[in-house]
Amino acid sequence: MRAGRGQVVKDALGAVQTVLVLGGTSDIGIAIAARLAGARRATVALAGRHPDALRAAGDRVRNAGAGRIEIIEFDATDTAGHEQFVAGLPESLGDIDVAIVAFGLLGEQAVDELGGDGAVKVATTNYVGAVSVCLPMARMMKSQGHGTLVFLSSVAGDRVRRANFIYGSSKAGLDGFAQGLGYSLAGSGAEVLIVRPGFVPTKMTSGMNPPPFSTTPEAVAEATAAALATGQRVIYVPARLRPVMAVARHLPYQLMAKIDR
């Protein structure tokens, strides 16, 4: 139970009572929700565009030990409706302890850079959509006096590469926005956690060959739960990617251009 307004009961494993997944069919988002919800039979709300897929995801989370499951219509690109979407959450869910920003598009780099609207769709979904919905979400959590926005970023945004610069740049923008939003929430009780995984085999990456330092949705979920319990602000999954990316960020442009062909 809650200890009062502005406080939320968490046990040593970071168990929470209400979890919202924006992009509720995301493999990583589902894994995190299942990991968090199972510890206390928490309420999980899965928000997205495809009701049948959301219901299937809800069954997975329920089987992991969640209590109540809510399916909510949400479109990351419907920026005009985001304020109203967030405004309706307290009535249906009450306070939200953790909101996971899990929606995103990978795109097809080779096709998208040649023209069409593919690149704009990636940027609009991954960055603009997140900015649009997370600003009112942050205000709501400040009003609650607690809550954590979990951003699923990527190491692709740490040092944008030739092979996926459209997707990588959208994640770089998302990551920067999340950092600044976190600073703006300091002292409010609301927080931001940025999760930077390496390659994760999911529906979105189906057919791609896993590179070094790959991980799994379940490993990301475990690391996220641990970070929430200990109050971390930025994590890499696997953790050994942190020093790797620290080096990659500072490689000279000329060297990066040679090795990233």
Active site residues: 167
Report the C-alpha gap between 204 and 245 in whole angstroms. Answer: 23
From start to end of 115-164, where are the E strands? Answer: 147-152
Q: Which two tokens stand for residue 208?
A: 């791609």
Helix 51-63 to helix 27-38 angle (10° resolution) is 40
Cβ neighbours of 36 (radius 10 Å): 30
- Report the distance separating Cα 18 and Cα 40, nearest Å: 10
Residue 101 CB contacts under 8 Å (≥ 6 apart), including other chains: 22, 23, 130, 133, 134, 149, 150, 151, 152, 174
| Beta-strand runs (E) in the chain | 18-22, 43-48, 69-73, 98-101, 147-152, 190-197, 234-237
